[in-house]
Structure 1
Amino acid sequence: MPKDDTKNYKAIKEACLRYLMRREHSQQELVQKVSAKGFVKQDVEQVIGELIEQGLQSDARFAESYARSRVHKGFGPLRIQAELQQRGAGKYPFDMAVEDIAGSWQELLEQVYSKKYGNKPILDLREKLKRCHFLQQRGFPNELVQHLFKKLSL
């Protein structure tokens, strides 16, 4: 291996490790961030492949960590799934994050609703639609939202 390749390899590995020390990153994120520093994408992918083999980078670990942080912020499964897909880690399950934090998606939905609206009554259809839209934007499926409003109207 020529001297430049060894120096390049070390620089790429150091850049990857710096990112991974701050927080978990998906393989796709690492490739994008390190390649943006001017390194050849193929070399970056090779180094990341070695990091994966060593257990230093894991898309599954990233997905769990990311989902956990989004659940803490009150986001639903549809939104989290879409965001993971964008980051290249959409094929990993993340339901355990909500189970640990809120118990279920329905319970998380109720917590988010309660935090935003408290005990304020729904005065008209327009207000109900506005609240539905808010919850759907947060990534909660329509079925869960409808179930919540049925429960509230009892």
Structure 2
Amino acid sequence: MGVPSLRERALRHLARRDHSRAELARKLATHGEADEIDAVIARMGELGLQSDSRYAEAFVRGKAARFGAGRLRSELARRGIERDLIEQAIENECVESELERARQVLRSRFSSAPADPREWARQARFLQTRGFAPELIRKLLKEPFDESA
């Protein structure tokens, strides 16, 4: 059993889960030259084994129930996905409105409406770290708390 080739390493990574082009390049960086890595990744793309758009859609599908669009955008950008692919994935995979998703995230974490300014700030910070917009957070925390939700 010899040392696995770049192609074999790339296939192993892609067999476990989808990877963005940048992630795959980073994982293969210690095992070959940049031009070799680019050629292997390009070939994986030609074969349909690696796709940034498929990766972005899967990422958004898996995380949309817990995070806001802002957090999804920043996470995907950090993983090397282009802006237009990010927007397309968010548009295609986020079926519920941003407000509805934020409401569900808030209700899953907190059982009651904020009773005082300190609790209001705590809930607002929670939603902000989840990537929801400040305007949306203010709107959501001002509406009456619905126990049935």
- Report if TM-score (shorter chain) is over 0.5: yes
Residue of structure 1 in register with 2:136 after alignment: 144
CA displacement 1:61-120 (0-9 Å, x = unmatched)? 011111111124x01111110010011114212222221xxx2211110100000002x2
**Is the 1:12–1:34 Cα contact (8 Å) retained in structure 2?**
yes
**Equivalent residues in 2 for 1:5-154, closer than 5 Å:** 11-36=5-30, 38-72=31-65, 74-91=66-83, 92=85, 93-95=88-90, 96-99=92-95, 103-118=96-111, 120-152=112-144
SS of residue paired to 2:49: coil
* Structure 2 CA distance for aligned equivalents of residues 147 and 90 of structure 1: 31
4+ aligned runs moved over 6 Å, structure 1? none
* Structure 2 CA distance for aligned equivalents of residues 90 and 152 of structure 1: 39
* Structure 1 CA distance for aligned equivalents of residues 82 and 116 of structure 2: 38
Aligned-pair distance for 1:153? Answer: 6.8
Aligned-pair distance for 1:24? Answer: 0.6
**Is the 2:67–2:132 Cα contact (8 Å) retained in structure 1?**
yes
CA displacement 1:21-71 (0-9 Å, x = unmatched)? 1111000000000113x2112201111111112221110001111111112
SS of residue paired to 2:64: helix
Unaligned runs of 5+ in 2: none
Q: How many residues align?
A: 141
* Structure 1 CA distance for aligned equivalents of residues 105 and 32 of structure 2: 43
Q: Which has the larger radius of gyration?
A: 1
* Structure 2 CA distance for aligned equivalents of residues 22 and 117 of structure 1: 35
Q: TM-score, normalised by structure 2?
A: 0.86
Percent of matched pairs sharing the same residue = 33
Aligned-residue Cα RMSD (Å) equals 2.0
